[in-house]
Structure 1
Amino acid sequence: MTGFLSVAEAQGFAGVIIDCRFSLADSDEGRRGYDQGHIPGALYLDLAKDMSAPVHTHGGRHPLPLTQTFAQKLANLGVDQSTEVLLYDDSRFVFASRCWWMMRALGYREPVFLNGGYQAWLSQGADTEVATPTPDPAAPMEVSTQWPGCCDRDELLDLQGQSAVVVDAREAQRYRGEHEPIDPVAGHIPGAMNLPWQSFSDEHGEFLEDAALRECWGDTLEATPLVVYCGSGVSACVNVLSLAVLGRDDVWLYGGSWSDWCSYL
């Protein structure tokens, strides 16, 4: 069951805490922030170095790594299939939800989130530290060689042939092709609707209650097949998270997302 802990609840967390802070504008910012201060005992996972594979012509800006590689990264942090894990970032769940999706897809115990992220932790005066803990490594979990629940471009086309509803999680201006700050081509996948990832949290970075989530999705909540994408398969995980909270465990993530799709244009 997907869970969100308050700062008070997180202060008593006994499992592994993972700091997922990152910036798409500055790939070193997350690690610098971690080194300057983090939740006591927290370890760090980097979107580009730990939760993505090297970039190629196709596959998107943040292609998923080999499943075995990610399993080893988690094992190095002391995480096995039954470990309790708490995730946080400072970007309204964007990077923490990527880690959540990856762990959940591979069959790990479902992580929980710090509601409000690191800013909530700081705003409530909770302790921080700068030291990097030394984890007690675990044995790597045996995982599938493929990412369950992730589709590539060809599979997306097949799903569209099955009348799939495709949801673009990017901001409305990027969806409409009016502003494209990252990818070389503006626009969206033909037939896709738009539901930005920011819709599912408030201005304090706290996840919305179930009723508000249902209102965001409307009738689309019942659509099947349902595919979600964004720019590179990261922020769309917030949409997938919101659906999981509402009991939808059958949603596809287009891993390469728009950065993969537009590489064929």
Structure 2
Amino acid sequence: MSVIVSEEWLADRLKNQPDQTVVVDTRFQLQDEDAGRKAYLEGHIPQAVYLDLNKDLSGKPAKHGGSHPLPDMDMFTAKIGNIGIDPNKTVVIYDQANDMFAARLWWLLHYVGHDDVHLLDGGFDQWVKAGHPVTTEIPVLEATEFKPTFRENNVADIEDVQEKLADQSATLIDSRSRERYLGRTEPLYRKTGHIPGAKNFFWKNVLDADGKWKTGAELEKNFASLAKDEEIIVSCGSGVSACPNVLALKSAGYENVKLYPGSFSDWISYDENEVETKEE
């Protein structure tokens, strides 16, 4: 079945198979890191547990590695085991709407080998709009042990990016807005522009005019300029908004897709790395 599921599908799942379902709330705001947890405590989908972008889905920033590096994987797999995720559980992740943070958790779970993972189309907003219940009750979770099977070929580091851009053996895409890609604005980092050679595919273009996920055929059209037999490395600012593009590419039939977790924030942490501001 599709990675993207409706609020009706989730409501039916919680009614009929609650013990085999783990729901995760990933709401977050980059400009207010406490906003997501506060929103969760004020009301969330029944049975949902909260995971925080900075505390749970990222490691501590260092000189290199980007502003949202991947979390320590021993800690991450212990955390997802503690909230009840094991190979037999269906995981449904939601954000406020169709935002980037739910896709970040989807990618992490995919990376550690869990496949039965879904995103709630329209997120919390759609759940409420459809009239489904909201609760402030914190669920009592039954911990399990999650044993990862890492998909190492799903991730690229800066050396991979440098090498494959140099010999043109992969295509690098930048998932940020066109304005940031071209260096016309930059709210987060000390340098503007993009990694030389990167092509711009704004992550929000995987959504339709109503903010819902596009169909597989629509996603194929979005990425039509990319060959399906080439390696694609997906970046953004810090490896978060790249994740919706990774999911969208895989949904459109692209198989050789890697995330560059450090992305632009890692690239510019090396003084010798140049940046570009022209269209590529």
Matched, 1:18 2:24: yes
- Partners of 1:37 and 1:220 lie apart in 2 by 41
Pick aligned residue for 1:110 from 101, 106, 116:
116
One-letter code aligned to 1:253? L
- Relative distance call for 1:73 and 1:191 in structure 2 (3 A) is same
Deviation at 1:221, TM superposition (A): 4.4
Matched, 1:98 2:69: no
The answer to whether the Cα contact below 8 Å between 1:100 and 1:111 also exists between their aligned partners in 2 is yes
Pick aligned residue for 2:238 from 228, 232, 236:
232
Deviation at 1:93, TM superposition (A): 3.7
- For 1:153, the equivalent position in structure 2 comes to 158
Deviation at 1:247, TM superposition (A): 2.3
Structure 1: unaligned runs, 5 residues or longer: none
- After superposing the two structures, state which structure 1 stretch, 91-100 or 230-239, moved more: 91-100
The answer to whether the Cα contact below 8 Å between 1:170 and 1:235 also exists between their aligned partners in 2 is yes
Deviation at 1:223, TM superposition (A): 5.4
* TM-score, normalised by the number of residues in structure 1: 0.95
- Partners of 2:202 and 2:217 lie apart in 1 by 18
The answer to whether the Cα contact below 8 Å between 1:22 and 1:31 also exists between their aligned partners in 2 is yes
Pick aligned residue for 1:139 from 141, 145, 156:
145
The answer to whether the Cα contact below 8 Å between 1:2 and 1:111 also exists between their aligned partners in 2 is no
Pick aligned residue for 2:77 from 54, 64, 71:
71
Deviation at 1:228, TM superposition (A): 0.7
Q: Which has the higher contact order (CA 8 A, sep 6+)?
A: 1
Instruction: Classify the secondary structure of the residue corresponding to 1:17.
Output: strand
The answer to whether the Cα contact below 8 Å between 2:86 and 2:146 also exists between their aligned partners in 1 is yes
Deviations, residues 31-52 of structure 1 (Å, cap 9, x unaligned): 0110010001111111100010
- Relative distance call for 1:148 and 1:223 in structure 2 (3 A) is closer
- For 2:33, the equivalent position in structure 1 comes to 27
The answer to whether the Cα contact below 8 Å between 1:2 and 1:244 also exists between their aligned partners in 2 is no
- Partners of 2:259 and 2:23 lie apart in 1 by 25
The answer to whether the Cα contact below 8 Å between 1:232 and 1:260 also exists between their aligned partners in 2 is yes
- For 1:119, the equivalent position in structure 2 comes to 125
Pick aligned residue for 2:95 from 89, 92, 97:
89
Identity of aligned pairs, percent? 37
- For 1:3, the equivalent position in structure 2 comes to 3
Matched, 1:165 2:171: yes
Pick aligned residue for 1:215 from 206, 221, 233:
221
Deviation at 1:191, TM superposition (A): 0.9
Deviation at 1:12, TM superposition (A): 1.7
* TM-score, normalised by the number of residues in structure 2: 0.90
- For 1:46, the equivalent position in structure 2 comes to 52
The answer to whether the Cα contact below 8 Å between 1:67 and 1:143 also exists between their aligned partners in 2 is no
- Partners of 1:148 and 1:80 lie apart in 2 by 22
Instruction: Classify the secondary structure of the residue corresponding to 2:243.
Output: helix
One-letter code aligned to 1:12? D
Aligned alpha-carbon RMSD (Å): 1.5
- For 1:191, the equivalent position in structure 2 comes to 197
- Partners of 1:184 and 1:250 lie apart in 2 by 32
- Partners of 2:115 and 2:88 lie apart in 1 by 5
Instruction: Classify the secondary structure of the residue corresponding to 1:86.
Output: strand
The answer to whether the Cα contact below 8 Å between 2:228 and 2:253 also exists between their aligned partners in 1 is no
Deviation at 1:214, TM superposition (A): 1.1
